[in-house]
Structure 1
C-alpha cells in the first residue's frame, strides 16, 4: 500500500532539527533517540516510526487528505541508511573518535535536509539504484 509523500518529508524535517541539535550540543543521548527512530522506521516502515506516528495523528488531520503517494520501500530503505549513519555517529560520540560522530551525523543531517527542504530523498535514490543493479545482475 502506497504512503502519503508528505509523511517522510515531515519526518525528514524533524530529523533535520534533531541532528542539527546533536551537532551543536554533541548529545549522544539525543543521537541515540534519533538512531532508535531510524531503527523503528527501517524495521516497520516510516509509518511506524515516531515521526510517522506524529504526522499521522497530529499533522495529517490538519492539512487534509493526500494527493500524492509513493511506494513505501524506498523511504524504508532510506531509514535503514539513516540508521547506519546515526549508529556510526553514536559510536563516535560515545566511544570516539569524535570526528566519526561529527562526520556521520553531518552526513545524515545533509541527507535529511535534502529531503525536507527539496523533496530529494537520497536514500530513496540509493534504493532505486540498488534495485536496478540487482535486476541486471539477476
Structure 2
C-alpha cells in the first residue's frame, strides 16, 4: 500500500499548469513590490493546496482550468502529475521560506527567494520549462525516486532508456 496525501491527479493539463505558473509569477512580483505578509501567505497556501490536492482547492488552478484555458482556447496537453506535484512542493518550500524571512524582517533575503521563485514560474509559464519537473526526471533517472511513483513518466520521459 502506497502512502498518499490528498488527491493529486495522475495527469495534468500542461496549459493549465503554465497558466497557474503565470499567476504565481504575477503574484510573486506584486508580493516583492508590496512586501505584504498576506500576499506571501496566500502564495504559500496556494502551493500547499496544490501539493496536497492538485487543483481542487487552489483558486489559481480553478481559474486556469475553468477560465483561462477555455477562454484562450488553449486545449489540452496531458502530462504526468507527479513531476508537477514535486514542482509545487518546491514552490511551497520557496514561498514558505519567503514568508518566514519577511515575517522576521529579512527583506533582502525575502526578495531574493521570491525573485528566484518568480524566475522559475516565468520559465514554466512563458517557455514551458518546468524546472521542478526536470529535477524530478533526473531524480528518477538516478534512482532516487522509484519508477513506480510515476509510471506515465517511465513511458514519456525515459522511453529511450528501456
Secondary structure in 1 matching 2:129: coil
Which 5+ residue runs of structure 1 have no aligned equivalent? none
- Distance, in Å, in 2 between the alignment partners of 1:23 and 1:64 is 31
Give the match for residue 41 of structure 2: 32
Partner of residue 29 from structure 2, selected from 11, 20, 24? 20
Secondary structure in 2 matching 1:134: coil
TM-score in terms of structure 2 length: 0.77
Number of matched residues?
Answer: 137
- Distance, in Å, in 2 between the alignment partners of 1:4 and 1:137 is 23
Give the match for residue 7 of structure 1: 16
Partner of residue 115 from structure 2, selected from 101, 106, 111? 106
Moved over 6 A (4+): none
Task: Please list, as runs of the form range in 1=range in 2, the aligned pairs for 1:1-138 lying within 5 A after superposition.
Answer: 1-45=10-54, 47-48=55-56, 49-64=58-73, 66-134=75-143
Q: Is the 1:82–1:108 contact (alpha carbons within 8 Å) kept by the matching residues of 2?
A: yes
Structure whose CA Rg is larger: 2
TM-score in terms of structure 1 length: 0.89
Shift of the 131–137 alpha-carbon distance from structure 1 to 2, 3 Å rule, reads closer
Which 5+ residue runs of structure 2 have no aligned equivalent? 1-9, 148-162
- Distance, in Å, in 1 between the alignment partners of 2:63 and 2:83 is 20
The offset of 1:51, in angstroms, is: 1.3
The offset of 1:100, in angstroms, is: 2.3
The offset of 1:87, in angstroms, is: 0.6
Shift of the 29–135 alpha-carbon distance from structure 1 to 2, 3 Å rule, reads closer
The offset of 1:30, in angstroms, is: 0.3
